[in-house]
């Protein structure tokens, strides 16, 4: 009898404390992730880029064993996001080529999720690229393209392009309240600080202004589009490139098209995504258009808790296919999302193997098409607490020199230690509004 009472009490306590968590999970539509992979190279020689360091005979003695150990480490990170299932969309930087991404998505730990690849070789001198993976059961891509990080195609020598990806979040075929919403995603890896902070600052300002012009073009074409910007910006949330150049603010501006940097909250709490000596910095961030923000408190401050019952001031819900502003008429046909999508041609054409459907974007410097039917979904929302740094204990180790913890990297200097990356991944959870 005592034993039965004990188990009854235990089950009651479990239900009591997990019910709010389950309710919270029930409102979650999908999770996005951005991760700097720190030198995900294969062992093959690329004569067009500087990859000699990561070859078996190179300074780091990079081998197939070390390469596959790195893939296993990254797969573990993707599966340990703290959610019930891995992210719907992942943005990456520092991937050498398409092959390393193919090896990653076919890793035994990830293969069941059928991740598809969006990739294009960048002009970066080291051959490291910006790329994206997506789960076709949770995200349907409509178009994508890469563009130069400066206006008018003015070159920044040997740097990465910015990836724009437009698609529908939500399971294919859903209707009514479960219908998906169109997202406009930008993945970035801005010019590094190598060569001096002051000397390289103008390069990041150029990237910020170019990105801002692309965001503005979307907002001219669509009514309050759902925009999410993420990446390794090589600047912190308070730096001028992000605040003045891009216009990403720390709080609401009470306009649906303003940009809000959700990463400011991490700065206030002393967190960071990478560590230089004793200082944690926030280079990896999530920035969203204000239309995505959930209800605010009566004080007007950004809400950091869970969704409430108050209606959003902005009355414009998201749409299954984005509602264009008056005068915009172009539409885009979606290919079967289950097929592998191949990229690499300068025009940014996306092809679906085994299907007659072809998904094409406009010229890389043009405005992408993302129109179509305007059947409304229930709408997405994001709360500031939905953006977070993945600070899993296995990603960190004791910092014997500067105290505290540091990132467990693949190499410490040139000494191999079989870790993960010199950056922590960042996550953003998307919720169904008024769930």
Total domains in the fold of the chain = 1
Q: Is residue 35 part of a domain?
A: yes
Q: Is residue 23 part of a domain?
A: no
- What is the pLDDT, as a whole number, of residue 196? 86
Considering the chain, what percentage of its residues have pLDDT values greater than 90?
A: 58
Q: Is residue 38 part of a domain?
A: yes
Q: Is residue 24 part of a domain?
A: no
Q: Is residue 21 part of a domain?
A: no
Q: Does 18 have pLDDT greater than 90? A: no
Q: Is residue 17 part of a domain?
A: no
- Please write down the HEC assignment for all residues of the chain: CHHHHHHHHHHHHHHHHHHHHHHHHHCEEEEEEEEEEEEECCCCCCCCCCCHHHCCCCCCCCCHHHHHHHHHHHHHHHHCCCCCCCCCEEEEEEECCHHHHHHHHCCCCCHHHCCEEEECCCCCCCCCEEEEEECCCCEEEEEEEEECCCHHHCCCCCCCCEEEEEEEECCCCCCHHHCCEEEEEEEEECCCCCCCHHHHHHHHHHHHHHHHHHHHHHHHHECCCEEEEEEECCCCCCCHHHHHHHCEECCCCCCCCCEEECCHHHHHCCCCCEEECCEEECCEEEEEEHHHECCCCCCCCCCCCCCCCCCCCCCCCCECCCCECCCCCCCCCCCCCCCCEECCCCCCEEEECCCCCEEECCCCCCCCCCCCCCCECCCEEECHHHEEECCCHHHEEECCCCCCEEECCCEECCEECCCCCCCCCEEEEEEECCC
349-361: per-residue pLDDT in tens?
A: 343 333 323 343 4
- Give 409's pLDDT tier (boundaries 50, 70, 90): very high
- Give 195's pLDDT tier (boundaries 50, 70, 90): confident
CATH number of the domain to which 78 belongs: 3.60.10.10
Structural domain boundaries enclosing 167: 31-432
Q: Is residue 65 part of a domain?
A: yes
Q: Does 186 have pLDDT greater than 50? A: yes
Q: Is residue 392 part of a domain?
A: yes
Tell me which of 165 and 308 has the higher pLDDT: 165
């Amino acid at each position: 009898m005592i034993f039965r009472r004990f188990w009854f009490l235990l089950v009651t306590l479990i239900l009591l404390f997990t019910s709010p968590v389950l309710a919270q999970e029930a409102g979650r539509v999908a999770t996005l992730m951005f991760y700097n992979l720190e030198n995900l190279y294969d062992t093959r020689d690329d004569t067009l880029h500087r990859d000699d360091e990561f070859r078996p005979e190179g300074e780091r003695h990079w081998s197939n064993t070390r390469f596959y150990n790195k893939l296993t480490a990254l797969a573990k990170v993707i599966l340990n996001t703290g959610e019930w299932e891995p992210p719907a969309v992942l943005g990456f930087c520092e991937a050498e080529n398409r092959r390393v991404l193919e090896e990653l998505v076919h890793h035994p730990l990830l293969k069941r999720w059928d991740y598809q690849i969006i990739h294009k070789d960048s002009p970066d001198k080291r051959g490291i690229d910006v790329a994206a993976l997506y789960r076709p059961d949770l995200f349907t891509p409509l178009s994508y393209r890469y563009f130069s990080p400066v206006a008018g195609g003015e070159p920044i020598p040997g740097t990465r392009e910015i990836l724009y990806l437009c698609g529908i979040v939500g399971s294919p075929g859903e209707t009514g309240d479960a219908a998906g919403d169109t997202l406009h995603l930008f993945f970035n890896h801005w010019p590094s600080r190598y060569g001096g902070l002051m000397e390289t600052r103008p390069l990041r300002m150029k990237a910020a202004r170019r990105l801002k012009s692309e965001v503005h073009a979307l907002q001219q074409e669509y009514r309050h589009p759902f925009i999410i910007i993420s990446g390794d910006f090589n600047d912190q949330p308070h730096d001028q490139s992000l605040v003045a150049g891009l216009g990403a603010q720390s709080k609401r501006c009470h306009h649906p098209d303003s940009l809000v940097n959700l990463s400011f909250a991490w700065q206030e709490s002393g967190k960071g995504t990478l560590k230089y000596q004793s200082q944690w910095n926030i280079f990896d961030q999530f920035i969203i258009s204000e239309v995505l923000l959930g209800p605010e408190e009566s004080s007007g401050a950004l809400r950091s808790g869970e969704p409430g019952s108050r209606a959003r001031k902005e009355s414009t819900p998201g749409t299954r296919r984005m509602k264009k502003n008056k005068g915009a008429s172009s539409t885009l046909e979606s290919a079967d999302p289950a097929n592998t999508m191949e990229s690499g041609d300068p025009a940014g054409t996306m092809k679906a193997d085994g299907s007659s459907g072809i998904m094409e974007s406009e010229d890389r410097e043009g405005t992408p098409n993302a129109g179509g039917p305007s059947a409304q979904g229930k709408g997405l929302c994001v709360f500031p607490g939905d953006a977070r740094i993945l600070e899993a204990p296995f990603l960190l180790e004791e910092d014997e020199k500067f105290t505290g913890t540091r990132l467990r990297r693949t190499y410490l200097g040139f000494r191999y230690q079989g870790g993960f990356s010199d950056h922590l991944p960042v996550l953003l959870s998307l919720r169904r509004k008024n769930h």
